[in-house]
A and B are shown apart, each in its own frame.
Chain A
């Protein structure tokens, strides 16, 4: 981690990937005497989950504090938020709490995205133990999660920065705040400083890489991910970030090479299967894309996006496997919230079958699910015209003209956003 010091705890964190129906990513925090133990994460929640670790500096009433933390954890896991809150109030009334205990309390709340309560625990830790850097760091992350930018920056400024690691951590936090505030130049500077100072830190790499992807500076993103992946060769998410940025930069062949490496390490890694399928599809290698998708769909943890992609590719291939196409779309529709693209693709399949009424019905659903879906309005206008519904065609055409399809297209937008969410939410494996 960014500061040295003994750790006593290890946490196994489960990160739910947005690409995938089940939790597929596991990240553990290393512990070790005098070694870097963990890294801040790229998303506030994940960062807190990973960094909120109790220190070993105080040993007061360890067994009782363990019991309190366990009660707190139980209440939170049972969804008894009020009870957990009452417990926090009781805890904070007690004098002379150890930093270890307070940080662990904060973790429990942060794990449930209760950043306000987490912040109270960290604030108290700072009051009682102003020398503990972790408290400042975690409070800043909690403030970032609560979009309290000024407060987060103020905490960072107050944090003791006695080691280079702590200086880098503060730079990283500043960068995150600046990024959230849209101060891109400052964010790039501070995130870059943190990464340059500790390129082996996958969290710094992930945040800087994602910053560049958000800024559509894909080559810079690829450079960051490539360097970090070189220092963390088993990190699936750094490799995923690398392949995504290479794809977005137009380096399709390099992206495919990275994905092949990633899939050889983790054949069932759903995000990699989805991205590989999409890259091949975007290259026009539809048969190859379909093959990868089919392999991925054999996995029990296949992403619903893979079902959508496979159906979409089959339609592009003019496949007549309509039963399969509709079954895959049905699975995708059931698992992807408001999947207007699923109905859009279903409409194409129905149209290919000559079933214009069904094709229209699909598009009517798609436009109901997403009234700002220009592609659907465009095709709907064309179909209405084809079946002689001129007035409906005019209305759909007007909707289309009003919205106008983006150059990029819904599919790539959906997948790009989806991957960014995936990577935003994930902790690099260490």
Chain B
């Protein structure tokens, strides 16, 4: 194998633009067959989310996140699923808990929740991972309506709750949703962004039908978020000694709002080398925090064109993901919204602004679905990110009213046509896509390291789904990054892959999807390409590394400043 390693230091990189499709690729929809293998893989615990037939309060509607992360560093992503509860509650010994499933490396998982000391109870919401103390073992942060939890990975298969010790504890009840570890000041230590939904107090919340905010199309339903009190997001600075300081005010993050926010999505949207943060918000403008490079952020969502839809309407932003779907070297954004709305695809204009490209990209249909988790993921390894969306309505009452939508909804899969447009292939994508669930969190990983990405979905009122595509696919590469000067997980690193003139861009990211966590390893489909011409890494530290002529179908582990290392 021939490869060369080039090193360069750069804090501001001008990336070449390439938009042509790789040789040998054709814009013909692939044959896709997703099957839900969760049960046979051992993922059997049901996720609770309030009432299944009726919901009194909005806390019963937002579901929970899912995570793929390699907690034991064995090279095979494990699974963490956040769980909720019900208004009635449970006996202590029967209360639903979050679940940690260890990857057995044979297509199955073992529930190690108790052994790992991660059996969290309550109104669990989101999850994100990051090695905040750079000790080589990835840690877990879980959001709640109640008190968020930071679980430190002890490196021996167990975790310990260090929320109070870390300075992340709040005495008051808060409804946190999304989270993302992000090194916003590029000091090599992961900071933490936490999005907030509603300042929620059931005692002060009207019940279904009690106000105009508690009716939907004439039927009494749970109230909100409109009519309830919004909140502001939070940013915690990593002090480097195992503790965090609340930097929400100082950084300017707390100035935006009050809104109702869900998914936090970090990414360098203007390619200036500094992580920005997009936040999908419900019934209020979504937020784009632009990183000012000095520890502060400016909220530029409206000006950048990502706060509203193309006509300036606030939408019910739920999930969000970012990828370069059109191969121009800039991150674009997808956001899921409520039923009767389209999802929002924001194409990066390469000048700090975005264009709502929803209709031009062919995503203007399917308005009956209420979208939650969404991911750009290359399902057929053709080198172009496709779009996956998990759906489920917030009103179980719909099932008794024949109102066009249903409480459990099928998923959506859009195939990237390589020309800036997507084609809906959901109905031909196998039972894993078409079977309806009330889905929320989604995460992606090649959990069996076979070169194809699997999708994990946290379903409310059902066990999770683990969707595996059994159809044939193109070549691939998985890129695992280990930071040295940068944070150890390389969160915020950008990787560009060139094959036959076609450019792909991805970032290592904490959070996203819908308040969920995908595997840190980046998966690139390569189509029929027999080699990777160039693989470039821009580390959060600013270091630029370039690898050339890499063979496909392998896991490439790169250590910052060292190049390829054995994994």
Contact = CB atoms under 8 A, between A and B. Distances in A.
A285 B424 CA distance: 13
A397 interface: yes
A63 B489 CA distance: 100
Given A219-B217, A219-B219, A397-B303, A379 B405 contact: no
A152 to B, nearest CB: 28
B314 A405 contact: yes
Interface in A401-430: 401, 404-407, 409-410
B308 interface: yes
Interface stretch (A243-251, A270-278, A303-311): A243-251
B290 to A, nearest CB: 15
B217 A216 contact: yes
B413 to A, nearest CB: 16
Interface stretch (B68-76, B197-205, B362-370): B362-370
A163 interface: no
B218 A409 contact: no
Contacts of B360: 318
B14 interface: no
Given A217-B218, A250-B340, A283 B402 contact: no
Contact of A220 (B218, B305, B308, B405): B218
Contacts of B218: 212, 215-221, 249
B403 A382 contact: no
Contacts of B219: 219
B368 A377 contact: no
Given A282-B340, A284-B342, A219 B401 contact: yes
A405 B311 contact: yes
Contacts of B3: none
Contacts of A217: 218
B288 to A, nearest CB: 14
Interface in A67-108: none
A316 B359 contact: yes
B312 interface: yes
B283 interface: yes
B353 interface: yes
B404 interface: yes
Interface string A208-246: 000010011111110000000000000000000000000
A350 interface: no
B312 A378 contact: yes
Interface string B253-293: 00000000000000000000000000000010000000000
Contacts of B305: 382
A343 interface: no
Nearest to A286: B364
Contact of A253 (B308, B340, B401, B404): B404
Contacts of A212: 218
Point out which of B218, B312, B359, B403 has the most chain A C-beta atoms below 10 A from its C-beta. B312
Contacts of A218: 217-218
A374 B313 CA distance: 9
Interface in B208-233: 215, 217-219
A286 B404 contact: no
A374 B314 CA distance: 11
Contacts of B403: 219, 249-251
Contacts of B310: 379
Contact of A378 (B311, B365, B368): B311
B302 interface: yes
A243 to B, nearest CB: 13
A254 B313 contact: no
Interface string B552-563: 000000000000
Contact of B217 (A248, A286, A382, A397): A248
A254 B311 CA distance: 28
A248 B217 CA distance: 7
A249 B313 contact: no
B217 A409 contact: no
Contacts, number: 86
A385 interface: yes
Contacts of A285: 365
A317 B217 CA distance: 28
A385 B401 CA distance: 46
Interface residues of A, number: 39
Contact of B303 (A318, A374, A385, A406): A385
A248 B216 CA distance: 10
Given A250-B403, A251-B403, A284-B367, A385 B353 contact: yes
B340 A405 contact: no
Interface in A165-213: 212
Interface string A278-318: 00001111100000000000000000000000000000111
Contacts of A317: 359
A379 to B, nearest CB: 7
Interface string B394-405: 000010011111
A409 B303 contact: no
Nearest to B302: A397
A412 to B, nearest CB: 9
A221 B310 CA distance: 32
A136 interface: no
Contacts of B314: 404-405, 407
B299 to A, nearest CB: 13
A385 B342 CA distance: 25
A404 B311 CA distance: 11
Interface in B308-366: 308, 310-314, 339-340, 342, 353, 359-360, 364-366
A319 to B, nearest CB: 11
Interface string A29-65: 0000000000000000000000000000000000000
Contacts of A284: 342, 364-367
A220 B217 CA distance: 10
Interface in B120-170: none
Contacts of A250: 217, 339-340, 398, 403-405
Given A249-B403, A254-B402, A284-B365, A405 B217 contact: no
Nearest to A380: B312
A400 interface: yes
Contacts of B313: 375, 405-407, 409
A247 B24 CA distance: 46
B311 A286 contact: no
Contacts of A401: 302
10 contacts: A216-B215, A250-B340, A251-B402, A316-B364, A318-B359, A378-B311, A382-B353, A385-B353, A404-B314, A407-B313
Given A215-B218, A250-B405, A379-B312, 12 more contacts: A219-B217, A220-B218, A282-B367, A283-B365, A285-B365, A318-B360, A375-B311, A375-B312, A378-B308, A385-B353, A401-B302, A404-B314
Interface of B: 215, 217-219, 283, 302-303, 305, 308, 310-314, 339-340, 342, 353, 359-360, 364-368, 398, 401-405
Please give me the 3 A-B residue pairs with the lowest Cβ-Cβ distance, nearest first: A378-B312, A284-B365, A217-B218
